[in-house]
Structure 1
């Protein structure tokens, strides 16, 4: 049983329940030496990070609990789970290199640490914490994944179309999940994040003067954060776990592609060190289908990763649609459609894969949001 708030811990202690099997995650355990000590045998209790003063640690250790300490020499908190864009872009006024996002990427590629057992463990704990929070965040929600290339420029008709796709999906009750990066991913997240079509119409021209994150992430991120702040207004940021039922826009980026900064138009960000875990997480949670906008190598990889479970699906399993948008792109420029058709022959996946010309066509193929 995981306990993630002090209120839940207090309730459990007051009920006199056993502490065996509890997982206390990222809590401030100051003043808990006496309550823990009253239980005597603490075997099976696991404390994951948080604040554990010396007197509490002594009680926990004597009682047989397992204590994973807070980690202070990494640029991320491995126990925290989901992020807000404000967390990743803190310090942006001093340039992108000063932000936690940029520092985490530099730490992850440091040649001295890439294969260091301690650093590897920290990254694994971090990604597991993200997955744990992400599962809770999307539980019970209908979700549509939107894939597409990072090179799509703000200010283009294609960017606006991707944003309208995100808006229409969110308006119909879906959570829009993207890879959380720039380009088509940012556009879809933006569309899902805005409250209405008017707000989207206001945001698009404000972003257009900085069309790309290249050659400098800083101005690209600054203008986006200005738009985000205006969209949020004076509303305070709430704990991420309270947003799940109302979430519309979710980004799942990775530091593996550190040259691609995360976009800021997400209710929350699930950022991973492991790209493999991240990609599987996006696809597995897109329970109402996946829309693939034009892209290159990374997008092609995602297409075939999405196709694998469709290919091996049993005859009696309902398959979510996989919709490729841009017939010319997917049949001529990057001709994966012909391969998908060959793979689909005689299999249930033949009914699940589609190639269409427009975002409007894609929307018509997706199921309604689940009640």
Structure 2
């Protein structure tokens, strides 16, 4: 039954209390919930077939629930991340200690350092923890985006703050969000940050984005200082709290590229292949490809491939932005158009000149099959 597995997941103390009040959590999956203050409840409740993933509890409670048929995966000490986490990351979580210790002190930087160290060691336990973590993130991402019209915005990390290209990408993200679409990006700097910034700015009047672009231009790039780059973004958030939500899906595989602070929900992965495929597969309302280099070209055809072989429904819309870029500098458009013609899906792709035209193109391509 669709959704049945999610109905058995317990991801907060409040959810645990609600289910346990019935006298049974049999068959439920309790994920990263601190149960150290729930010993009496754990000793009394039925637990046959329950699964506890990374839930702190007293030794007495752990022994009791195991004896009564539960399976317990205890927390792993010393990690800079929780492999069993039940929710996506937030910017505040990943950038904790930024102000006091700089970027190197943040959980994001420490997770990257752990990844680099354990990857070099080839430790099978570490690779298992990374896989569990990434699966937990995927589960949380699916729960967040269930039923949402998601539009992916792809583009290069090198696009600098303070440039007109960055400003146009931000206005694109704002327009898409104001159209009721959930903006999802690769979660990093450059064009990705710009689109997430635009979605964050969507609830405010237009002057907010203009002011924010000017402020961010003081730290154009994450090099040489990630600390200064991130601090500028948090200054924008402090001046304009409660901005619009969007999704960033970055990776520690490219750990030298930090996540941006404007994606309210961050699904950060260790495995880049899982991240790339997941971002494109969840872009149900289409994908906008801003000018980019090798990574963006790869994403164009990673997205084109399932569209090419789609047999159960309509392919998702694809919009390439920058005629000269995609026909002359990196001529992906002629090949994409040839593939589309072969599968009669030309009505689902478009090449436009500017980001301002991309949002309308996404809406037009979606409305051609009643998805508007």
Normalised to the residue count of structure 1, the TM-score between the two structures is 0.91
| 1:285 alignment partner in structure 2 | 282
Relative contact order higher in (CA < 8 Å, ≥ 6 apart): 1
| 1:261 alignment partner in structure 2 | 258
| 2:306 alignment partner in structure 1 | 309
| 2:5 alignment partner in structure 1 | none
In 2: Cα distance, 1:191 partner to 1:337 partner = 26
| 1:250 alignment partner in structure 2 | 247
Could you report, residue by residue, the CA deviation over 1:89-112 in whole angstroms, capped at 9, with x for unpaired residues? 112122211111111111101156
Which residue, out of 27, 30, 49, partners 2:54? 49
In 2: Cα distance, 1:320 partner to 1:348 partner = 13
In 2: Cα distance, 1:111 partner to 1:15 partner = 43
| 1:299 alignment partner in structure 2 | 296
Task: Within 5 Å, give how 1:188-207 maps onto structure 2.
Answer: 188-194=195-201, 195-196=203-204, 197-207=206-216
Which residue, out of 12, 18, 24, partners 1:11? 18
Whether 1:73 and 2:78 are equivalent positions in the alignment is yes
Task: Within 5 Å, give how 1:82-101 maps onto structure 2.
Answer: 82-93=88-99, 94-101=101-108
Task: Within 5 Å, give how 1:108-257 maps onto structure 2.
Answer: 108-110=115-117, 114-194=121-201, 195-196=203-204, 197-232=206-241, 248-257=245-254
The change in CA–CA distance for 1:47 and 1:140 in structure 2 (over 3 A counts) is same
After TM superposition, give the deviation of residue 43 of structure 1 in Å. 3.5
In 2: Cα distance, 1:175 partner to 1:337 partner = 26
In 1: Cα distance, 2:362 partner to 2:245 partner = 16
Q: CA RMSD in A?
A: 2.0
* Aligned residue-pair number: 356
Query: Structure 1: 5+ residue runs without aligned partners?
Result: 236-245
| 2:326 alignment partner in structure 1 | 330
Could you report, residue by residue, the CA deviation over 1:299-356 in whole angstroms, capped at 9, with x for unpaired residues? 1111111001111112x62222100000100111111111112222331332212211
| 1:342 alignment partner in structure 2 | 338
3-state SS of paired residue (1:21): coil
Do the aligned partners of 1:311 and 1:347 also contact (CA within 8 Å) in 2? yes
Do the aligned partners of 1:31 and 1:56 also contact (CA within 8 Å) in 2? no
In 2: Cα distance, 1:69 partner to 1:121 partner = 14
The change in CA–CA distance for 1:298 and 1:171 in structure 2 (over 3 A counts) is same
Normalised to the residue count of structure 2, the TM-score between the two structures is 0.90
